Structure formats: C-alpha cells, structure tokens
C-alpha cells in the first residue's frame, strides 16, 4: 500500500473516532437535558407551576374600618369620616415636579408637600400612586376633577380618616391615632397589616389600650398583575372585618361640662366615678389639645407650641399627676388612728397653732390655733396639730398601711396606656431608696399629706369612694363593652374597716361641708337632696420660710409656679353616696378657695343628670 493510501486510511479512522466521541457527547448532553426536563416537568412540576402562578397573581391586603368609640349612650367620641385625597401616578407624567406645580394653582400645596411627594415617588415604582394631600374639601376635589385634562398623572381618591367630635374634651381620655413607626413594626414582629398605606394605629388613651380590637381584621384580594407588576384585574376578594365598637362608661355631656369647667383654671385635673361600681363618668385634664391634629401628622409649629406650654397639655394629670395629697390624706390617717386604737371618738388634743418636736416647730394652718379637737372636729376644721401629735404614737408604717388599703400607692389599673403609682413612704422604703433612717419629724409632716407622700387624682377618688361605700375595695374602670360583649366586673371585697370608725370619719368629712366651722361650707350644693360631703387639701409646693411668715407674705403674692396646689375630694348625695369626685388645681392656692367650688359644680351637674346615668350592668 502506498504512503498516500495509508495517510488517507489514518485520516478516515481519526475522523470516525472524533465523530463517535462528539456524537456520544451530544447524546449524553441531550440525555442530561432530557432527564432534567423530565425531572422539572414530572417530579417538580407542581412546585414551579405554583411559583409561576404566584408571579402572575399578587395577594393584596385590604385595610379594615376602625371601630368607633362611644360614650355610655352611644354618642360618638371617635369616628371615621370620609377623606378626600389627591394622588399622582408618576408614569403618566413626563415632569413630576411640573405636574405638582400645576396642581398648586388649584389647591394649596406647600413646598414641604411637593418635596415629600417627590421623595415618596423615588422610593416606589412609577406605576404606584403617591398621595399628595388628604383631608381635602369637596370643593377642592371638584376643582381638581374639572381641571384633570390639564393635570397629567393627577387622580382623586376617597378613603377614611379618624375624627374626634368632642375635640379637647376627650383628648386625654380617648387619645388619638397616628402613623405606624418602625418601632411599632418591630413590636408586632413585622405584622404585614402595619404596612398598609395610610394605616393609623392607637398612640394614646383608649385608642392605644384597645388598638387591636378597634383595628379589625384585614381582608385580602387576589390581583392579576402583568410582567412589570402592574395590577390588571381582581380575581377574588375576602372582605375585611371592621374593628369592634368600644363603649365607655363616661357620659359625653358630663365630660364636656367637666372639661369646660376645668378650662377656667390654668392647670387642673378632675375625675368623677361611681362609688359602688367604679364606673368613671368623666375624667378631664387642662390644658388639653385637639387630637384631630395628630391623625395625619401635627405641624412643626403646632407641636412646638404644645411642647413650650409649661402646663404640659399632653399629660393626663388625672393618671400621671403625682401630688402631695395634703389634708385630703387626713381621711386615711384618721382611720389609721381609730383602727390601731390610738384614738377613739372621745380622744382630744389641744391646738395652740403649733406643735413642738425638739427644736422644731410645726405650724397649724390656723395661726392662732383651733383649741381642743377630737377626730370629727379635726377633720371638719382640718386641724394639723391633732394629726401631728397622734401620728407620733402611731408611726409612719401604720399610716402608709392604711393608705394602701384605701387605694393609694399603687396604680388603679384603670384602662390607660400610662399611670403613675404615687408613693407611700415607710421606714424600709427610705432605707432602701435613700440609705437613711426615718425621722420622727418626717412622720409629723406625712400625717398631713406632705413630705414624700404622693397620690394621683384617680387614687384620691378611689380613696373617698372606699370610705363612703362602706369600706369596699372598689376599682375604677372606663370600659362598659367591646363589640357585643359586656365587660363584667367581680364584686368588690371588703377592706376590713370597722363600720363604727367609718361612720366617725364620714361624719367628719360631712361636717367639712355642713359644719359651722367646716373649711368648705361656702361651697355646699344649695339643693337639700343633693348636698355633698368632702375634704379640702392645700399642698405646699415650697416650704414657707420663717422670714416670709414674719413678713406676712401671702401665697397669692408668690409667682404662680410657687403657689400651693389646691385639692378636694368629695361625694354626693350625703344621705346615699353614689358619686365620688377628686379635683386638683395646680397652684390654686387653697382647697376651699378653688378646688371645692369646682368639685361642687361637677357633683351638682352629675346629680342633675342622675336619671340618665342609670349604670350599665358591669357586675357578674
């Protein structure tokens, strides 16, 4: 065989081998692809079919309607109103900022509105509508609708917003809603409902306490979307469940009356409750604020104005104001004397106008003294020396123990997002907190509700309630029903007071209003069947110096913030107590001067409305 023939045969053999190898590789690759395709279609077909369906269908949450809050008669305190909004669809306009400036020719748009809208548009896809302004009037919406041909990308919409009809009168009680924050999202473990556009949640008051009940349950809709995520049509829908209605024990008209009466003072708080059931009929604090400003975000100017007010409009002083209870505390101290056999109805002391303890001289409010006092007359005339002298025989621990039984020194558990506990000092407390021993002079001061002792107005209302209801541990509450479910309360147990001692102390606080020397006799309700009993209190903000006392400086001559607080606790009617009231007027100078008249007006008004205040059943 020639060399040429051999070369040809070798080339042919090499080509055949290469062809076989390439063919094998091709067959192998096709086999792998076929096997993989079969695996995807047969074994995992359902998985990828589901994924493809999810890419085609989006599940959209539907915001529920927030539940109403009403008073005991169904009068709305927090409702939902129609909210007209204007939005812009960025994909339908070439120049977003120019479109917004055109819109500003027809409705008011601030530079802040424009910048906020531009910023929001950058965060979202161009086919997602962006809210420009809400709370528009019908006239504004009509103007926009008429001019829509000249406003590319602009569209109008209608939603809901929270509204508070009684405004300042129920601000501290009902609270308000606001936008969801990052902190709220973290607290609820990234609950997707909180991401709903425009959702508002409770920020204070009843709105916050019952937020989840009021919020309702979100619905959902399956939306068909195209490849870029734009919604094409609705495939199915599960409607949202509206939030539950919360019915309160308060009387809206009485609440409005109390707030209006308080507003005559610079800074004050008042609460009125049922001494037997604990139902709160009204609770107000002044100065107040309009909660409607907070629904869509309060302006910087308005916020700074509220923050600059030295009387703290945002604070609910009924729950968070902690004050020396002053002479109202003598109710607890008198009971402690009687229950621990330090005093009886016949025990007397002499008041010369002062009390000496070592080198210290403790003055009575009555400069020339009250003369000989027993427990009833000491309460009637609010004699300090009587309590100074007997308190040293009893001691601070026993005094604070009785005050705790009367409801002081701990939160009342009233439905609130915040409540202060007050303070009842003891020897152990001072050692632990201040690393110091208790001194006898501190017991003297504590016996008239000064020193370390602190109480909130709601606690003082509980104190007088427990006295006049026969010694039962009544607790206040604001909620009568949630949805269709009545909130039943257990019967209140006895706090174990001797009925004879209770009668003596009640006789003393009754004489405060009807006695010839009663400290608040000038504020008695004139109608015989509605007469009230009560106890005044005047809490020192700053101790009166010896020089001021010698110079005859009057409290009203001092700057407002240095004047005494005025307190009063009362009940009515005297013959069959039902209503208890607590009032604190900050820097009001004297309990009989400013707090007692205010309490009189509240108790009088409540009794006038008594036929309407038939209590909602709240006991099991």
Q: What is the mean pLDDT of residues 381-404?
A: 97
> Residue 232's pLDDT is what?
64
Condensed to tens digits (0 to 9), the pLDDT of residues 174-191 reads: 999 988 877 887 888 778
Q: Is the pLDDT of residue 483 over 70?
A: yes
Confidence band, pLDDT 50/70/90 cuts, at residue 472: very high
Q: What is the mean pLDDT of residues 93-108?
A: 87
The sign of the dihedral angle between the CA atoms of 521, 526, 532, 536 is: negative
Give the separation between CA 453 and CA 9, rounded to whole angstroms.
116
Give the separation between CA 191 and CA 186, rounded to whole angstroms.
8
Residue 420 lies in a domain: yes
Condensed to tens digits (0 to 9), the pLDDT of residues 514-537 reads: 999 999 999 999 999 999 999 999
Give the separation between CA 210 and CA 246, rounded to whole angstroms.
8
10 Å CB burial of residue 335 (0-12, 13-18, 19+) is: buried
For residues 240 and 353, state if they share a domain: no
Between 33 and 616, the more confident residue is 33
Indicate the length of the chain as a whole number. Answer: 620
Q: What is the mean pLDDT of residues 352-367?
A: 94
Q: Which of 218, 246, 274 is the last residue of a domain?
A: 246
Residue 295 lies in a domain: no
For residues 182 and 276, state if they share a domain: no
Q: Is the pLDDT of residue 617 over 50?
A: no
Are the C-beta atoms of 238 and 216 separated by less than 8 Å?
no
Condensed to tens digits (0 to 9), the pLDDT of residues 537-565 reads: 999 987 766 666 666 667 777 888 889 99
Q: What is the mean pLDDT of residues 465-470?
A: 96
For residues 24 and 78, state if they share a domain: no
> Residue 56's pLDDT is what?
66
Give the separation between CA 556 and CA 551, rounded to whole angstroms.
14
Residue 23 lies in a domain: yes
For residues 29 and 86, state if they share a domain: no
> Residue 556's pLDDT is what?
76
> The domain containing residue 532 runs over which residues?
252-288+316-613
CATH of the domain at 99: 3.90.1310.10
10 Å CB burial of residue 239 (0-12, 13-18, 19+) is: exposed
For residues 91 and 157, state if they share a domain: yes
Q: Which of 327, 523, 592, 594 is catalytic?
A: 327
Q: Is the pLDDT of residue 194 over 90?
A: no
Are the C-beta atoms of 408 and 422 separated by less than 8 Å?
yes
Q: Which of 185, 219, 246 is the last residue of a domain?
A: 246
Residue 77 lies in a domain: yes
How do 76-88 and 130-136 pair as beta strands? antiparallel
For residues 180 and 260, state if they share a domain: no
Residue 396 lies in a domain: yes
Q: What is the mean pLDDT of residues 144-173?
A: 87
Mean residue pLDDT of the chain comes to 87
End-to-end CA distance of the chain: 119
Active site residue 327: yes
Residues 6+ apart with CB under 8 A from 538: 326, 327, 365, 564, 565, 566, 567, 589, 590, 591
Q: Find the Cα–Cα–Cα–Cα dihedral 397, 399, 403, 409, rounded to 10°.
A: -40
For residues 25 and 85, state if they share a domain: no
Residue 294 lies in a domain: no
Give the separation between CA 376 and CA 596, rounded to whole angstroms.
19
Q: What is the mean pLDDT of residues 426-438?
A: 96
Residue 435 lies in a domain: yes
Condensed to tens digits (0 to 9), the pLDDT of residues 370-387 reads: 999 999 999 999 999 999
For residues 231 and 283, state if they share a domain: no
> Residue 228's pLDDT is what?
47
Q: Is the pLDDT of residue 325 over 50?
A: yes
Q: How far is CA 100 from CA 90, 92, 130, 375, in A?
A: 11, 13, 12, 76
Instruction: Report which of 249, 263, 445, 483 is spatially closest to residue 360, judged by C-alpha positions.
Output: 445
The sign of the dihedral angle between the CA atoms of 83, 84, 90, 91 is: positive
Q: What is the mean pLDDT of residues 95-105?
A: 87
For residues 581 and 466, state if they share a domain: yes
Instruction: Report which of 412, 418, 157 is spatially closest to residue 285, judged by C-alpha positions.
Output: 418
Q: Please give the helix or strand (H or E) that residue 96 lies within, else none.
A: helix 96-103
Are the C-beta atoms of 85 and 217 separated by less than 8 Å?
no
For residues 421 and 565, state if they share a domain: yes
Tokens of 145: 């609708």
Condensed to tens digits (0 to 9), the pLDDT of residues 13-50 reads: 665 666 667 767 777 777 777 777 766 666 666 555 54
For residues 20 and 69, state if they share a domain: no
Condensed to tens digits (0 to 9), the pLDDT of residues 198-230 reads: 678 899 999 999 999 999 888 877 767 655 445
Helix, strand, coil distribution of the chain in percent, nearest 5: 45, 20, 35
Are the C-beta atoms of 221 and 196 separated by less than 8 Å?
no
Rg over alpha carbons for the chain, rounded to the nearest Å, is: 36
For residues 229 and 281, state if they share a domain: no
Tokens of 318: 């009924």
Q: How many domains would you assign to the chain?
A: 3
Residue 273 lies in a domain: yes
Percentage of residues in the chain having pLDDT higher than 90: 56
Question: If DSSP states are collapsed to H, E and C, what string results for 273-301?
Answer: EECCCCEEEEEEEECCCCCHHHHCCCCHH
Give the separation between CA 276 and CA 429, rounded to whole angstroms.
33
Residues 6+ apart with CB under 8 A from 548: none
Q: Is the pLDDT of residue 417 over 50?
A: yes
> Residue 113's pLDDT is what?
83
At residue 285's C-alpha, the angle toward residues 479 and 169, to 5°, is 70
């Amino acid at each position: 065989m020639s060399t040429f023939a051999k070369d040809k045969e070798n080339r042919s053999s090499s080509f055949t081998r290469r062809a076989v190898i390439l063919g094998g590789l091709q067959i192998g690759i096709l086999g792998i692809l076929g096997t993989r395709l079969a695996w995807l279609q047969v074994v995992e077909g359902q998985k990828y079919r589901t994924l493809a369906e999810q890419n085609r269908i989006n599940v959209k949450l539907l915001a529920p309607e927030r539940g109403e809050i009403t008073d005991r008669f169904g009068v709305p305190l927090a409702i939902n109103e129609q909210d007209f909004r204007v939005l812009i669809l960025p994909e339908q306009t070439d120049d977003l900022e120019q479109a917004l400036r055109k819109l500003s020719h027809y409705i008011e748009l601030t530079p802040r509105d424009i910048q906020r809208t531009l910023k929001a548009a950058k965060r979202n896809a161009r086919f997602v509508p962006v809210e420009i302004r809400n709370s528009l009037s019908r006239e504004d919406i009509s103007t926009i609708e008429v001019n829509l041909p000249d406003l590319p990308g602009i569209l109008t919409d209608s939603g809901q917003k929270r509204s508070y009809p009684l405004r300042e009168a129920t601000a501290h009680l009902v609270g308000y809603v606001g936008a969801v924050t990052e902190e709220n999202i973290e607290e609820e473990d990234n609950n997707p409902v909180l991401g709903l556009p425009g959702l508002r949640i409770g920020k204070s008051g009843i709105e916050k306490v019952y937020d989840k009940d009021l919020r309702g349950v979100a619905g959902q809709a399956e939306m068909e979307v195209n490849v870029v995520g734009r919604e094409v049509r609705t495939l199915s829908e599960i409607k949202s469940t509206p939030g539950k209605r919360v019915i309160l024990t308060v009387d809206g008209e009485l609440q409005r009356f109390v707030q209006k009466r308080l507003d005559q003072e610079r800074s004050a708080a008042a609460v009125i409750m049922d001494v037997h059931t604990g139902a709160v009929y009204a609770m107000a604090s002044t100065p107040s604020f309009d909660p409607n400003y907070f629904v869509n975000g309060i302006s910087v100017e308005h916020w700074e104005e509220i923050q600059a007010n030295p009387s703290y409009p945002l604070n609910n002083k009924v729950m968070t104001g902690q004050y020396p209870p002053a002479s109202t505390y003598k109710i607890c101290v008198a009971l402690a004397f009687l229950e621990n056999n330090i005093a009886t109805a016949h025990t007397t002391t002499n008041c010369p106008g002062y009390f000496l303890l070592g080198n210290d001289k403790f003055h009575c409010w009555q400069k020339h003294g009250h003369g000989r006092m027993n427990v009833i007359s000491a309460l009637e005339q609010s004699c300090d020396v009587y309590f100074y002298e007997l308190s040293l025989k009893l001691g601070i621990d026993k005094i604070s123990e009785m005050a705790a039984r009367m409801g002081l020194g701990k939160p009342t558990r009233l439905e609130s997002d915040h409540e202060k506990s007050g303070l009842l000092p003891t020897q152990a407390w001072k050692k632990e907190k201040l690393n110091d021993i208790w001194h006898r002079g501190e017991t003297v001061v504590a016996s008239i509700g000064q020193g370390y002792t602190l109480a909130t107005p709601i606690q003082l209302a509980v104190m007088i309630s427990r006295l006049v209801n026969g010694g039962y541990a009544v607790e206040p509450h604001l909620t009568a029903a949630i949805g269709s479910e009545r909130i039943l309360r257990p019967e209140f147990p006895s706090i174990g007071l001797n009925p004879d001692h209770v009668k003596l102390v009640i006789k003393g606080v009754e004489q405060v209003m009807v006695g010839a020397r009663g400290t608040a006799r000038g504020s008695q309700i004139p109608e015989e069947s509605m007469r009230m009993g009560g106890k005044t209190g005047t809490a020192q903000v700053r101790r009166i110096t010896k020089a001021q006392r010698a110079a005859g400086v009057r409290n009203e001559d001092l700057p407002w913030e240095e004047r005494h607080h005025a307190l009063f606790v009362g009940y009515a009617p005297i013959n069959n107590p039902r209503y208890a009231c607590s009032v604190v007027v900050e820097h009001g100078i004297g309990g009989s001067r400013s707090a007692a008249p205010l309490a009189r007006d509240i108790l009088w008004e409540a009794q006038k409305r008594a036929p309407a205040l038939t209590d909602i059943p709240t006991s099991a």
